[in-house]
A and B are shown apart, each in its own frame.
Chain A
Amino acid sequence: MSFFSDIFTLDFLFLAFIATLLVSFVTGLFSTVVVLRKIEFIGDGVAHAAFGGLALGFLIGINTRLIAILTAIVFAVIINLFSKKGYISENSIIGILLPLSMALGIIFLSFVEGYTPDVMSYLFGNILLVSATDIWILAVIAIVSGIAFLLFHREILYYSFDETLARHSGINVSLVNFFVLIGVSVSIVASVKIAGIILVTAFLVTPAVIAKRIAKTFKGIVFTAIFFSLLSSILGLWGAYVFEISPGPSIVVVLSIVFVSVYLLTLRRKDI
Chain B
Amino acid sequence: MSNNKLLEVKNLSYSVGNNIILKNVSFDIYRGTLIGVIGPNGAGKTALVKAIVGDLEDYTGTIVLNGKVGYLPQRTDFERSFPITVKEIVAMGLYEKRGPLHHFKKEDWKKIDGFLANVGIKHFKDRRIGTLSGGEYQRAMLARALAKQPDLLILDEPEAGVDEMGKASFYNLLDNLKKSKNISILMVTHDIGMVFDACDSILCLNKTLHCHKASENVSPEDLTRIFSPDFDLILRGKEHAKREHKL
Residues of A at under 8 Å CB distance from B? 36, 38, 151-152, 154-155, 157-158, 160-162, 164-166, 168-171, 212, 215-218, 220-221, 271-272
Contacts and interface: CB of A to CB of B under 8 A. Distances in A.
Contacts of A220: 83
Most buried by B among A155, A169, A217, A271: A169
B82 A152 contact: no
Contacts of A169: 92-93, 95-96, 144, 148
B136 interface: no
A154 B94 CA distance: 12
A158 B83 contact: no
Main SS at interface, chain A: helix
A175 B128 CA distance: 27
A154 B95 contact: yes
Contacts of A162: 76, 78
B56 to A, nearest CB: 13
A218 B95 contact: no
A205 B131 CA distance: 24
Contacts of B71: 168
A166 B83 contact: no
Nearest to B55: A164
Interface in B174-206: none
Contacts of A152: 100-101
Nearest to A161: B84
A158 B92 contact: yes
B81 A272 contact: yes
Contacts of A161: 78, 82, 84
Contacts of B92: 158, 165-166, 169
Contacts of A170: 95-96, 99
Given A162-B76, A165-B144, A221-B83, A155 B88 contact: no
Nearest to B102: A154
Nearest to B148: A169
Interface residues of B, number: 26
Interface of B: 53, 55, 71, 73, 76, 78-79, 81-85, 88, 91-93, 95-96, 99-101, 128, 131, 141, 144, 148
Contacts of A160: 82
Contacts of A155: 100
Most buried by B among A155, A168, A215: A168
Contact of A36 (B83, B88, B91, B99): B83
Nearest to A213: B81
A107 to B, nearest CB: 40
A36 B84 CA distance: 11
Most buried by A among B71, B92, B131, B148: B92
Given A164-B76, A165-B144, A166-B92, A36 B82 contact: yes
Contacts of A164: 55, 73, 76
Most buried by A among B83, B95, B144: B83
Most buried by A among B53, B84, B91, B101: B84
16 contacts: A36-B83, A155-B100, A158-B92, A161-B82, A162-B76, A164-B73, A165-B73, A165-B141, A165-B144, A166-B92, A168-B73, A169-B95, A170-B99, A212-B81, A216-B128, A272-B81
B152 to A, nearest CB: 13
Nearest to B99: A170
Contacts of B99: 170
Most buried by B among A152, A218, A221: A218
Nearest to B76: A162
Contacts of A166: 92
B128 A218 contact: no
Nearest to A165: B92
Given A162-B78, A168-B53, A170-B95, A218 B100 contact: no
